[in-house]
Amino acid sequence: MKYITPIVLSVLAISPCAFAQAPSDAVQKALLAAPGRMKKEDVTVIKWKPDFTYDTLQKGSSSLVCYDLSGYPGHPPFTVECTSKGNLDRVAQNLKIEALGDKAKVQAAFDAAEKDGSRVKPEFGSAFIHFMGPDQEHAFHHTTIAVPGATAQSLGLPDKPSQDGAWIMNAGSTTAHIMIPGS
């Protein structure tokens, strides 16, 4: 008995520290989209609020930020995403427009913002890493590279889908991005 008491007391003393440092389920879920080679503690994790601002759940040292968009209008039921911190204004604008709900209204709002120049540009060359699907078990990864304003001519990539390689989608707009087959 005299040996058990110090062991139990040691475990109890260490346990609160271990639990206090364990990431929350919300953090773990958002990090499912993060590249496997990154240390998870280096990634910032945020939670979007209804007013399209956010709370920081985990502060990381890299420029990568991840968040959960599950249940948001226009997104699959299970959606987590990572991108550069410099793209958060773009993501907030997307969420605000997508909250309009009606597909025609959403597209009209995106088109109007593009036309009047108020569409927030993403960082050129930044990635949007999605892990999405009907549920986590059936989710898939999809990565795009933002190239706002780029065209097939400026990048030397085709602007039509290709099974053979990358191509540019929405060429010439702030939404231009490189599609990577199989990702």
pLDDT at residue number 7:
39
Cβ pair 171, 159 in contact under 8 A = yes
Q: pTM score, two decimals?
A: 0.83
Q: How far apart are CA 25 and CA 124, in angstroms?
A: 32
Predicted confidence (pLDDT) at residue 1 exceeds the cutoff of 80: no
The stretch 47-72 carries a mean pLDDT of 96
Is 176 domain-assigned?
no
| The total number of structural domains that make up the chain | 1
Is 162 domain-assigned?
no
Is 86 domain-assigned?
yes
Cβ pair 163, 181 in contact under 8 A = yes
pLDDT tens digit sequence for 132-158: 999 999 999 999 999 999 999 999 999
Mean pLDDT check: name the lowest of 3-12, 139-148, 165-174: 3-12
pLDDT at residue number 6:
40
Structural domain that includes position 115: 4-146
Is 124 domain-assigned?
yes
Q: How far apart are CA 101 and CA 74, in angstroms?
A: 8
pLDDT at residue number 40:
86
Cβ pair 116, 126 in contact under 8 A = no
Is 165 domain-assigned?
no
Q: How far apart are CA 133 and CA 25, in angstroms?
A: 19
Is 157 domain-assigned?
no
Is 121 domain-assigned?
yes
* CA proximity to 79, closest of 54, 42, 48, 53: 48
Confidence of residue 162 (pLDDT cuts 50, 70, 90): confident
Predicted confidence (pLDDT) at residue 19 exceeds the cutoff of 60: no
pLDDT tens digit sequence for 88-139: 999 999 999 999 988 999 999 999 999 999 999 999 999 999 999 999 999 9
Is 59 domain-assigned?
yes
